[in-house]
Structure 1
Amino acid sequence: MNSVWKEKSDLPCFDVLNQDIRTDILIIGGGLAGILCAYMLEQAGVKYMLVEADRICSGITKNTTAKITSQHGFVYDKLIREFGMETARLYLEANEEALNQYRKLCKMVNCDFEEQDNYIYSLDDKKKVERELAALHKIGFSAQSVDSLPLPFSIAGAVKFSKQAQFNPLKFVSGIVEGLSIYEHTAVRELIGTTAVTDHGKITANKIIVTTHFPFLNKHGSYFLKMYQHRSYVLVLENAPNVEGMYVDESQKGMSFRNYEDLLLIGGGDHRTGKKGGNFKELEDFANRHYPNAKIRYRWATQDCMTLDGVPYIGSYSASTTDLYVATGFNKWGMTSSMVSAMLLTDIVLGKENPYAEVFSPSRTIFRPQLASNAIQAVVNLLTPTTPRCPHMGCALKWNNVEQSWDCPCHGSRFTEEGKLIDNPSTGNLRKKV
């Protein structure tokens, strides 16, 4: 189930760390967010290093649909209602700045970057469209209303952001990693202050940035309560139409569309990890109905960290920690959120003021409706008297018959049938064969 990005890219390899070492900044996690942090620190002339437990971009980055956009669902109406206009404006400004940064970098990198308009549509609620447009106009952004799309179904309406972008994320990474201080197959097993313990040496740093998708430290930050993981699926079709843009349903369980070369990417089938959902069958049924002459070339699944309020957590790991930072909870919008993370965290570790720090602060209030749902899920699965159990926090695992894996409905760790770790926040395999 390789993604189209992996099939059409060739990432370089990096050495394993086999010694004790010191550095100013340690980055843990070699996905797009971590690599962009490393790139910016390299440009700033700072002594840093990045360690990745497997290969760089071997986790979620290789399985994205790779849309670069500041339009993250119908988020701006919600941000104004819950945080006020200034926070909504800053959130938009941060993501627009991220988009512009990609424009600059991609001029130097052959990564199939191309501008495309982005559309968030609603199948049945015109009022949602109108509220989102009104919110955007309040914060001074020029978006457009659209009544129909080149997709095989009717809509109630859509909001259009012009001149957004898409690319091949692994080609992009291949183009910026040369010369960066990166170590692969170097898993951090423990943090003792700002010293990271690996299998073959200790890394002593002044400051540490954690970009491991779901943070692996439980004793700080309460991320096990502040997030859950959400699974979604992608089919890539040949002999399907060019839809001339990027499209996402405002509903969390809706569908997304974009083209790459002569292929059409369709995303959907979503569900909370460890629960049942439409998965690949939902997408296959859709393709058979609407694109009967198309052929499936690639398929893959991905996983996203969902926050309590729809805004990523970027900044200090917790209010009680010093010199420890995090980027997580990208809510399906990992491309721009990764760039925002790199810009913001680079400023923070260099002691610079950043206007977006408060917007993304991981220490903002957790009293949101999703908190109760996350807590209930955790309690129910902790009390479920079945095996196997997730080594992360002891929740009962559920068998995923579609992907032949053991999945944790509490926090999203996943394991092979034999018990080998697939996805974090667990940091190790199941304790015994399942």
Structure 2
Amino acid sequence: MKSIWQDTVQLLHFPQLKKDIHTDVLIIGGGIAGILSAYFLHQAGVKYVLVEKNTICSGTTQNTTAKITYQHGLIYHQILKSYGTHAAQQYLTANKRAFEKYAALCRTIDCDYEIKDNYVYSVTDRRKLIDEMNALQKIGYAAKFCERLNIPMQTAGAVKFPNQAQFHPLKFIAPIADGLNIYEHTFVREMIGNLAITDQGTINANHVIVTTHFPFINTHGSYFLKLYQHRSYVIALDNAQDVEGMYVDECRTGLSFRNHGDLLLLGGGGHRTGHKGGNWNELREFAQKVYPHSAEQYHWAAQDCMSLDDIPYIGQYSKRTHHLYVASGFNKWGMTGAMAAAMILTDKILGKQNDCADVFDPSRNILKPQVLVNGFEATKNLLTISKKRCPHLGCALKWNSAERSWDCPCHGSRFDKHGKVLDNPANGDLPS
């Protein structure tokens, strides 16, 4: 099960750490957020090391749909309602800066970068779209409302952000990572203060940035309550349709559309990790109905960390960890989220003021309805009798028949049929 991105690019490989070292900044996690952080620190002349437990971009980054946009669902009405105008403007500004940074970098990188309009649609709820339009007007962004869309389904309309972008994420990463100080197959098993313990060496660092998708250090930040994980699925079809843009349903279980070359990337079938959902079957049934002459060329799945309020956690890991930082909870918008995180965190390391950082503060109020859902899910599965239990915090694992994996409904760790860890926050395999 390879994504189209994996199948069309061969990334560089890096050595395994086999000694004890000291560095100014340690970055843990070799996805796009970690690599961009390393890239900016490298440019600034800061001594750093990035470590990745497998190979770079072998997790969520290689399974993205690779949309570069500052339209993240119907987020602006939500932020405006919860945190006010200034916070909504900070979120917009941070993600616009991220978009502009991609545009600048992609001018010199052959990564299939294309300008496309982005649409967030609703199948039934026009009121949500109108609320988002009003919120955007209030913070000074001129979005457009569209009645008709170039997708094969009836909708209540869509909010359109013109001139957004899409690209090939691994073609972008390949030259960015070239020359960076990276160690692969270097699994951080434990943190003792700012000392990272790996299988064949230790890393002593003045600052630590955790970009491991789901934060793996449980003693700070309460991320096991503040995050849950969500699976989503993609099929790539030829002989389907050029939808001439990027489309996503405002509902997390809805469909997304974008093209890559001659292929249509159809996404959806989503569900909370460890629960049942539509998966690829839902997408294949839809494709058979609306694109009966199409043929599936690729299929893959992604996993996203979902925050309590749909805003990422970027900044100090907790109030008590002044030299430990985190970037997580990008929801389904990891491309601009990763770039925004890398820009904010490298500013913090360099002692620069970033006027958009406050809205992403990981220590913001967690009294949100989702925290009760997350807590209930954890309690229920801790009390479930099962031989297969997650080594992260002991929750009962569920068998995922579509992907043939053992999945944790609490925090989203996943293991293959032999017990090898696939997705964190679990920090090791299942006991044999």
TM interval, short-chain normalised: over 0.9
Query: TM-score under structure 2 normalisation?
Result: 0.99
In 1, Cα distance between the equivalents of 2:292 and 2:217? 47
Residues 110, 175 of structure 1: 8 Å contact kept = no
In 2, Cα distance between the equivalents of 1:123 and 1:68? 23
Q: Which residue of 2 aligns with 1:192?
A: 192
In 1, Cα distance between the equivalents of 2:131 and 2:219? 40
1:78-98, CA deviations, whole angstroms, 9 ceiling, x for partnerless residues? Answer: 110000011001101110110
In 1, Cα distance between the equivalents of 2:69 and 2:322? 32
Matched, 1:296 2:296: yes
In 2, Cα distance between the equivalents of 1:340 and 1:356? 9
Structure 1 consecutive aligned stretches of length 4 or more whose deviation exceeds 4 Å: none
In 1, Cα distance between the equivalents of 2:253 and 2:423? 21
In 2, Cα distance between the equivalents of 1:108 and 1:19? 36
1:338-370, CA deviations, whole angstroms, 9 ceiling, x for partnerless residues? Answer: 000000000011111111221100000000000
Q: Which residue of 1 aligns with 2:337?
A: 337
Q: Which residue of 1 aligns with 2:28?
A: 28
Instruction: Name the count of aligned residue pairs.
Output: 432
Q: Which residue of 2 aligns with 1:142?
A: 142
* Identity level (%): 59
Q: Which residue of 2 aligns with 1:315?
A: 315
Q: Which residue of 2 aligns with 1:121?
A: 121
In 2, Cα distance between the equivalents of 1:130 and 1:367? 27
Long gaps (5+) in structure 2: none
Cα root mean square deviation, aligned: 0.6
Q: Which residue of 1 aligns with 2:73?
A: 73
In 2, Cα distance between the equivalents of 1:390 and 1:179? 37
> What is the identity, as a one-letter code, of the residue corresponding to 1:198?
T
Query: TM-score under structure 1 normalisation?
Result: 0.99
Q: How far is the alpha carbon of 1:263 from its aligned partner?
A: 0.4
1:106-152, CA deviations, whole angstroms, 9 ceiling, x for partnerless residues? Answer: 01111101110000001111111111111101100010000011111
Q: Which residue of 2 aligns with 1:211?
A: 211
Q: Which residue of 2 aligns with 1:202?
A: 202
Matched, 1:284 2:284: yes
Q: Which residue of 2 aligns with 1:104?
A: 104
Q: Which residue of 2 aligns with 1:53?
A: 53
Q: How far is the alpha carbon of 1:423 from its aligned partner?
A: 0.5
Residues 120, 248 of structure 1: 8 Å contact kept = yes
Q: How far is the alpha carbon of 1:428 from its aligned partner?
A: 0.3
In 2, Cα distance between the equivalents of 1:223 and 1:215? 7
5 Å-filtered alignment, 1:35-434, equals: 35-432=35-432
Q: How far is the alpha carbon of 1:418 from its aligned partner?
A: 1.2
In 2, Cα distance between the equivalents of 1:19 and 1:386? 40
In 2, Cα distance between the equivalents of 1:262 and 1:26? 41
SS in 2 for 1:196: strand
SS in 2 for 1:188: coil
1:266-288, CA deviations, whole angstroms, 9 ceiling, x for partnerless residues? Answer: 00001000000111100000000
Residues 18, 200 of structure 1: 8 Å contact kept = yes
Q: How far is the alpha carbon of 1:322 from its aligned partner?
A: 2.1
Long gaps (5+) in structure 1: none
> What is the identity, as a one-letter code, of the residue corresponding to 1:416?
D
Q: How far is the alpha carbon of 1:385 from its aligned partner?
A: 1.3
> What is the identity, as a one-letter code, of the residue corresponding to 2:128?
K
Q: How far is the alpha carbon of 1:193 from its aligned partner?
A: 1.0
